[in-house]
A and B are shown apart, each in its own frame.
Chain A
Amino acid sequence: MKRFAALYRALDGATATSEKVSLLEAYVREVSRADAAWAVYLLLDKKKSALSSGALRQRFLEASAMPEWLFEECRGHVGDTAETVALLLHALPRSDGTDESREALAALPLSTWMEDELPRCPRDDVDKQRAALVRWWSALSPWEALALNKVLTGAFRVGVSGGLVQRAVASALGVELSRVQRALTGDFAPSAALLTDLESSTAAADDSKPYPFLLAHPLEDDFVFDPARWQLEYKWDGIRGQVIKRAGQLFLWSRGEELVTPSFPDLREPLSSLPDGTAIDGEILAWSTTDDAPAPFATLQTRLQRKNLTPAVLRGAPARVVAYDLLELGGEDLRERPLAERRAALEKLVTDVALPVLSISAVLEAKSREELEALREAAHERGAEGLMLKDRESVYGIGRKRGVWWKHKREPMTVDAVLVYAQAGSGRRANLFTDYTFALWKGDELVSFAKAYSGLSDEELAELDKWIRKNTREKHGPVRVVEPELVFELAFEGIAKSARHKSGLAVRFPRILRWRRDKPAREADSVTLAEALLNPPK
């Protein structure tokens, strides 16, 4: 744990990507293959958490003499349970055993910790949990305990992306990046074999693996539209995914690199007739039962929440894949070919297999910027989120590359709302009130409408934080009720009826557009105005 905690601490302190890559690369070179595989697995957040933050907190409180309220004060201040516990280890009684035995425990390699130590903390036995945690905590320094607590509860958040890990592994092992990408995408086992297989050229590639996704950037203000260069498509609002057919088996992956095949039995069977060695990038959608068009995202969401996919559920919300791109055909990686070439191959494939559940994303026409904007408006009427603009010459890269794929969405809906509650953020934002609840007028009353976290500059955040501290009316645990004075313009992507908010409305992706310093609270918008947004023109 010592060496891994040192890596964790160094990564946390590094700001440049290149520095992080070299830290991780040095770690991979230095430790055993098994330790390196575990570190990669943990940094990619592949491990399911072994313990909830709540359980970690509870076991700590049971083992220490610290009053619960004081722990909560600390947690509110630190912003993170795992770190709070690590900083409070001095409040625990010393465990049995010698200093040497504690030292030896702390020095055990990561793989031994993961494979032999962690099972001592079973999910369903609180006494064993407490015994294991106290033994571990009394052997570790605060930074080591922090690393362990993060291993247990998940989510490292040290600014290490998947791409960064892949680069570090590729250069530490001296193998091609694309091989590492495939091995480290989707599910994999954190064993020494993972890395030894990568090094030996004869190892069979894992057949299930998707490719890393290429993501779009929001269109920038100074974008110049050249109809010849850009391929236009609708941007659908479903689950971005990859359909993989290799060695007789079909896999459906979500963009979050989650295997979602079991959720779509109605896709698996028909799509299995795709030829072996195929990888399609597309959108998984619920299809309308009345029109030949996608159903709203909510329909797909309801279906995903069902435990039992009964025939009635499948009939009510049949799934379909709208294909965007072709990444592999006949076992050959097409990603380095230009989009125009991949598109031609995709069209031929979709026509050849002729499956009702697989359609191709239509290519749209616009001769000018004006036509492009009209098309974007029309996209909404068809239930799409907006448009995608893809460079016809571009290769299929990795991640969010500027200037290759743009997304162009409709201007969001907006309202002016009053800030009523504030709460401290977590992680980077601990100690700063950054989580806000906004309200709208309903007659003479302000009713809560939406929560929003983002959209303000650091300067505005700091200013608002000061204001909140000075204008707190009441405190309810971590929540501050503030004077209803400040008005903010909120933007959101969709609005629906909801019983959860007092206003009776719920919005998707709310965010702060700007601070309306020019508006007094009484001039903020009303619930009635927001309700009018419920039924946008069809």
Chain B
Amino acid sequence: MALIDVTPEGLRCALGGFYVDPAASVDRAILTHAHADHARPGSVEYVCAQSSLEVLRARLGDDAKLVGLEYGERRRFGDVTVSLHPAGHVLGSAQVRIEHEREGVWVISGDYKRDPDPTCAPFEPLACDTFITEATFALPVYVWTDPRVVAKELFDCWRSERTHATLVFCYAFGKAQRILAHLAELTDEPVFLHGAMERLTDAYRRAGVSLAKTSPLPESASHKDYAGRLVLCPPSANRSPWMKRFKSPQTAFASGWMAVRGQKTRRGYERGFVLSDHADWPSLVKTVEETRAKRVLVTHGSSDAFARYLRESRGIDAAPLGHLYEGDEGDT
């Protein structure tokens, strides 16, 4: 029996009596992070990284039973020992390390990246026997540039537009705060936030992350009040009635997908900033090699291609685990 198996409810650790990021309600869920496709309401107890408590609270509500573990803290569940380690994806994101005396060490990466991110602890490479890795951007066309360079491009793009608003679309949890953290180093000018982003941004501040000044959109403002202002908003707001308040704004989308021209045009944005919270191709390959895992299982995105590449070009025993998750950057 494998330490982890795939069930309709999600990744199950039968020997430890828990699930990791389950899709359904279970007794005990260990969460890698608070993105909606990983943290679903309805379970009896959630175990998560201490630093994700604030954002998870904002997501799952005050009634959810949350148990926080410090990174590296070891906890016994059933026959296994579990510890959480930074994944570098978003605030409080974690890899789940599971140890069993007969089955050895398994690590579930959750979503992760290796690029510097001022809003969360950096990814920690872990040696293991079996590594379950994400593969959202597992094609060699995805190679990120330094996020500080991209943030500067975004800042320059905003500052070059003085007569209209600049709307930067990005995911409400993680990407928005990361942009704000980078902007904090570049400007004191406040940024307007779409309503859907306020609660999570507050949670980041409560967790002690320093961000650029923000303010909610004024109730009754004419488009002139938005001249030269930066507005962060979720992708769902694009072409919605909400957008009518801005007169011919310049629009941009901040996402790893923007590395491909067709994606940008298809989504109808004028500009794309290639800024991702997932690992790019070189980081994925590097990470897999650093774990020295004997077996690699691949989820999310281009899992077939990545597993084949690891097998054929790197001589690593690898196989796709199937598409467990849908949502956040992975499938939208």
**A77 and B305 alpha carbons, distance in the complex (Å):** 12
**A462 and B141 alpha carbons, distance in the complex (Å):** 24
**A66 and B309 alpha carbons, distance in the complex (Å):** 10
Q: Is the interface of B mostly helix, strand, loop or mixed?
A: helix
Contact of B263 among A15, A66, A430 (CB under 8 A): A430
- Is B265 an interface residue, CB under 8 A from the partner? yes
Cβ proximity bits B259-298 to A, threshold 8 Å, 1 near / 0 not: 1111101100011000000000010000000000000000
Number of A-B contacts (CB under 8 A): 65
Closest CB of chain B to A143's CB: distance in Å?
10
Q: Contacts A14-B270, A67-B312, A69-B308; is A77 near B143 (CB within 8 Å)? A: no
Contact of B266 among A67, A78, A91, A430 (CB under 8 A): A430
Are A80 and B262 interface neighbours, CB within 8 A?
yes
* Chain B neighbourhood of A91, CB < 8 A: 140
* Chain A neighbourhood of B265, CB < 8 A: 427-428
Are A13 and B271 interface neighbours, CB within 8 A?
yes
Cβ proximity bits A14-34 to B, threshold 8 Å, 1 near / 0 not: 110000000000000000000
Are B262 and A431 interface neighbours, CB within 8 A?
yes
Segment 429-469 of A: residues with Cβ below 8 Å from B: 429-432
Closest CB of chain A to B266's CB: distance in Å?
6
Are A432 and B266 interface neighbours, CB within 8 A?
yes
Are A88 and B141 interface neighbours, CB within 8 A?
yes
**A233 and B265 alpha carbons, distance in the complex (Å):** 40
Q: Contacts A74-B141, A78-B141, A91-B140; is A430 near B260 (CB within 8 Å)? A: yes
- Is B313 an interface residue, CB under 8 A from the partner? yes
Are B262 and A78 interface neighbours, CB within 8 A?
yes
Are A74 and B140 interface neighbours, CB within 8 A?
yes
**A73 and B140 alpha carbons, distance in the complex (Å):** 10
Closest CB of chain A to B279's CB: distance in Å?
15
- Is A283 an interface residue, CB under 8 A from the partner? no
Closest CB of chain A to B320's CB: distance in Å?
13
Contact of A77 among B141, B270, B282, B308 (CB under 8 A): B141
- Is B139 an interface residue, CB under 8 A from the partner? yes
Closest CB of chain A to B157's CB: distance in Å?
10
Contact of A70 among B140, B261, B282 (CB under 8 A): B140
Cβ proximity bits A53-91 to B, threshold 8 Å, 1 near / 0 not: 000000000000011011001100111100110011011
**A527 and B309 alpha carbons, distance in the complex (Å):** 45
Cβ proximity bits B290-320 to A, threshold 8 Å, 1 near / 0 not: 0000000000001001001100110000000
Q: Contacts A13-B271, A15-B270, A88-B141; is A430 near B262 (CB within 8 Å)? A: yes
Are A87 and B259 interface neighbours, CB within 8 A?
yes
- Is A365 an interface residue, CB under 8 A from the partner? no
* Chain B neighbourhood of A432, CB < 8 A: 266
Closest A-chain residue to B313, C-beta based? A67
**A432 and B270 alpha carbons, distance in the complex (Å):** 19
Closest CB of chain B to A382's CB: distance in Å?
43
- Is A12 an interface residue, CB under 8 A from the partner? yes
Q: Contacts A73-B302, A431-B266, A432-B266; is A12 near B140 (CB within 8 Å)? A: no
Closest B-chain residue to A428, C-beta based? B265
Are B262 and A428 interface neighbours, CB within 8 A?
yes
* Chain B neighbourhood of A90, CB < 8 A: 140, 143, 282
**A431 and B257 alpha carbons, distance in the complex (Å):** 11
Cβ proximity bits A404-446 to B, threshold 8 Å, 1 near / 0 not: 0000000000000000000000111111100000000000000
Cβ proximity bits B137-175 to A, threshold 8 Å, 1 near / 0 not: 001110100000000000000000000000000000000
Are A429 and B266 interface neighbours, CB within 8 A?
yes
**A90 and B312 alpha carbons, distance in the complex (Å):** 20
Are A84 and B141 interface neighbours, CB within 8 A?
yes
Are A66 and B140 interface neighbours, CB within 8 A?
yes
Closest CB of chain B to A69's CB: distance in Å?
7
Are A428 and B308 interface neighbours, CB within 8 A?
no
Are B302 and A87 interface neighbours, CB within 8 A?
no
Q: Contacts A67-B312, A80-B262, A431-B263; is A74 near B139 (CB within 8 Å)? A: yes
* Chain B neighbourhood of A426, CB < 8 A: 262
Q: Contacts A83-B261, A430-B260; is A70 near B270 (CB within 8 Å)? A: no
Cβ proximity bits A155-195 to B, threshold 8 Å, 1 near / 0 not: 00000000000000000000000000000000000000000
* Chain B neighbourhood of A87, CB < 8 A: 140-141, 143, 259-260
* Chain A neighbourhood of B308, CB < 8 A: 69-70
**A13 and B259 alpha carbons, distance in the complex (Å):** 13
Cβ proximity bits A303-343 to B, threshold 8 Å, 1 near / 0 not: 00000000000000000000000000000000000000000
Are B266 and A73 interface neighbours, CB within 8 A?
no
* Chain A neighbourhood of B312, CB < 8 A: 67
Closest A-chain residue to B138, C-beta based? A73
* Chain A neighbourhood of B266, CB < 8 A: 428-432
* Chain B neighbourhood of A80, CB < 8 A: 261-262
Are B262 and A427 interface neighbours, CB within 8 A?
yes
Are B261 and A12 interface neighbours, CB within 8 A?
yes
**A331 and B51 alpha carbons, distance in the complex (Å):** 81
* Chain B neighbourhood of A67, CB < 8 A: 309, 312-313
Closest CB of chain A to B163's CB: distance in Å?
13
* Chain B neighbourhood of A69, CB < 8 A: 308
* Chain B neighbourhood of A14, CB < 8 A: 270
Closest A-chain residue to B323, C-beta based? A469
Q: Contacts A14-B270, A73-B305; is A79 near B262 (CB within 8 Å)? A: yes
* Chain B neighbourhood of A66, CB < 8 A: 140
Cβ proximity bits A262-277 to B, threshold 8 Å, 1 near / 0 not: 0000000000000000
* Chain A neighbourhood of B263, CB < 8 A: 430-431
**A80 and B263 alpha carbons, distance in the complex (Å):** 12
Q: Contacts A15-B270, A67-B312; is A77 near B139 (CB within 8 Å)? A: yes
Are B270 and A429 interface neighbours, CB within 8 A?
no
Closest B-chain residue to A65, C-beta based? B313
**A353 and B124 alpha carbons, distance in the complex (Å):** 87
* Chain B neighbourhood of A88, CB < 8 A: 140-141
**A14 and B269 alpha carbons, distance in the complex (Å):** 10
Closest CB of chain A to B148's CB: distance in Å?
18
Residue of B143, B262, B305, B313 with most chain A CB atoms under a 10 A cut-off: B262
B residues adjacent to A (C-beta < 8 A): 139-141, 143, 259-263, 265-266, 270-271, 282, 302, 305, 308-309, 312-313
Question: Can you report 6 residue pairs joining A to B where beta carbons are below 8 Å apart?
Answer: A15-B270, A70-B140, A78-B262, A79-B260, A90-B143, A426-B262
Beyond known contacts A429-B262, A430-B266, A432-B266: 11 more, CB 8 A cutoff:
A13-B271, A14-B270, A67-B312, A73-B302, A80-B261, A83-B262, A84-B141, A427-B262, A427-B265, A428-B266, A431-B266
